[in-house]
Structure 1
Amino acid sequence: MNILLLEDNKKLNQTITKRLKLKGYKIDAYLDGNEAYNNITEGYSCFILDINVPNVDGIKILKKIREFYEEVPVIIISASTELEVIKQSYDFGCNDYLKKPFFIDELEIKVEKLCKIKNDFIFFDDNSYFDYKSSIVVLEGVEQRLTKKERLLMNLFLTKRNQVLSYDTIQNYVWEGSFASLESIRSLIRRLRKVLSNKYIETVVDTGYIFKTT
């Protein structure tokens, strides 16, 4: 399981990273909020976020996560005891709030309870699935590795399956806020359709696309 850790205290960051790695988790640890913000779409199963960090605070990152991932667990770790900060954290979708200072064992227990996922496979029919960990689509036994943008688009489709996704939503997520022309989006859709043998992705005229599964 991949975990994103954001903690600007270098010593605490290293301690948490070491302890969780001993548990077998893969950890990407950041000291800077902007770096964490730019990497939240890299296929994480759990987020551990400090609030008061340089450049981009943990609350803003939490809001960004919840735009696309409704169910991925987020644990806030913070020295703040202000009721408004704690309330904001839960209002924007954190799953648990751990006040500093805390025992690392407490964090381990929360990760074990909240973040353990059964597997990294996301099935979209009986014979086909997306391997979330390795970015491979398996379609009736045939494997196809996805590029970064294809993977991001697949993540988005499977998070919002059977929902209409606008061009703007796809642009914001896959191009991570940068501009993408309509032709660039259509080209990416064509590439993913080729991988999926032209199944699943339907065009919604003048709006966007929908990933249809049963």
Structure 2
Amino acid sequence: MKILLLEDNKKLNETIKKRLMLKGYKVDSFIDGSEAYNSLTEGYSCFILDINVPNIDGIKILKKIREFYDEVPIIIISASIELEIIKQSYEFGCNDYLKKPFFIDELEIKVQRLCKIRNDLIYFDENCYFDYKSSVVFLGVEELRLTKKERLLMNLFLTKRNQVLTYDTIQNYVWEGSFASLESIRSLIRRLRKVLSNKYIETVVDTGYIFKTT
């Protein structure tokens, strides 16, 4: 999972980044608001934003993120205790607000909870399930290991089960912000369907796909 971190305190920035990377997350960290602002569409699954940062503040970045992504988790970290600032953060779409100073463990727990990343088994039916830890699909006694892009697509489908995922959403997450042609997305879908069988992934015409499970 790819996270954007904006924190202008270099020591805190490095501490947060190291901790999250130890947990297996990919982290792009910024200390300047304008640099973070210019990177918002690079395929992030979570945003961690300080408010008082150079050039473009965290609130403006929060508003801009919500123009691109309706549901990607955003955590605000700030020393501000002003009620109006906290109120604005939630009004503009943040999912959680963490006041400094805080324990890094607390931030880590919030990331895990909001992003619903689980290291367990996800069953599609009694004979088919996905193991998050090993990135393996089990069909009866058969083990099918996924490629990186297949795994990213599976993770996206499982966090958004029974919800329509647009082509843009898949491109941003699976290709991590890089361009992907419609044929590349369809090719990836075909490969995953071949692994799982067609019954789970349904096409939404001219829009994207939906992963249906009970």
Q: TM-score of the superposition, structure 1-length normalised?
A: 0.66
Q: Residue 33 of structure 2 aligns with which residue?
A: none
Paired residues of 2:127 and 2:140 also in contact (CA < 8 A): yes
Paired residues of 2:43 and 2:174 also in contact (CA < 8 A): no
Matches within 5 A, 1:103-142: 104-105=102-103, 107-109=104-106, 111-112=108-109, 115=112, 119-121=118-120, 122-142=122-142
The alignment yields a C-alpha RMSD, in angstroms, of 4.0
Paired residues of 2:50 and 2:78 also in contact (CA < 8 A): yes
Residues 11 and 126 (structure 1 numbering): CA distance in 2 closer, same or farther, change over 3 Å?
Answer: same
Residues 171 and 96 (structure 1 numbering): CA distance in 2 closer, same or farther, change over 3 Å?
Answer: same
Please report how far the alpha carbon of residue 200 of structure 1 lies from its aligned counterpart in structure 2 after TM superposition.
Answer: 0.8
Amino acid at match of 1:67: D
Paired residues of 2:42 and 2:172 also in contact (CA < 8 A): no
**Unpaired runs of 5+ in structure 2?**
31-35
Paired residues of 2:166 and 2:207 also in contact (CA < 8 A): yes
Q: 3-state SS of the aligned residue for 2:70? A: helix
Deviations 1:135-186 (A, max 9, x none): 3333334333323332232222222222333334433443445443332222
**Unpaired runs of 5+ in structure 1?**
none
Q: TM-score of the superposition, structure 2-length normalised?
A: 0.66
Q: 3-state SS of the aligned residue for 2:191? A: helix
Matches within 5 A, 1:1-214: 6-16=6-16, 25-26=23-24, 30-32=28-30, 33=36, 38=42, 40-41=44-45, 48-53=48-53, 57=58, 59=62, 63=66, 67-69=70-72, 74-91=74-91, 92-98=93-99, 100=100, 102=101, 104-105=102-103, 107-109=104-106, 111-112=108-109, 115=112, 119-121=118-120, 122-214=122-214
Paired residues of 2:3 and 2:44 also in contact (CA < 8 A): no
Please report how far the alpha carbon of residue 211 of structure 1 lies from its aligned counterpart in structure 2 after TM superposition.
Answer: 1.4
Q: 3-state SS of the aligned residue for 1:157? A: helix
Q: 3-state SS of the aligned residue for 2:202? A: strand
Please report how far the alpha carbon of residue 7 of structure 1 lies from its aligned counterpart in structure 2 after TM superposition.
Answer: 2.8
Please report how far the alpha carbon of residue 191 of structure 1 lies from its aligned counterpart in structure 2 after TM superposition.
Answer: 0.8
Residues of 1 paired with 2:138 and 2:67: CA distance?
A: 29
Please report how far the alpha carbon of residue 212 of structure 1 lies from its aligned counterpart in structure 2 after TM superposition.
Answer: 1.6
Residues 55 and 114 (structure 1 numbering): CA distance in 2 closer, same or farther, change over 3 Å?
Answer: same
Residues 66 and 164 (structure 1 numbering): CA distance in 2 closer, same or farther, change over 3 Å?
Answer: closer
Q: 3-state SS of the aligned residue for 1:67? A: coil
Deviations 1:1-46 (A, max 9, x none): 998754332212344567x58xx845655431367873634xx7xx
Please report how far the alpha carbon of residue 192 of structure 1 lies from its aligned counterpart in structure 2 after TM superposition.
Answer: 0.8
Residues of 2 paired with 1:27 and 1:165: CA distance?
A: 22
Deviations 1:95-115 (A, max 9, x none): 2331x3x1x44x534645784
- Which segment drifts farther, 184-193 or 138-147? 138-147
Deviations 1:70-102 (A, max 9, x none): xx6x5421234554442232231322331x3x1
State, as a whole percentage, how many aligned pairs show the same letter. 62
Paired residues of 2:138 and 2:144 also in contact (CA < 8 A): yes
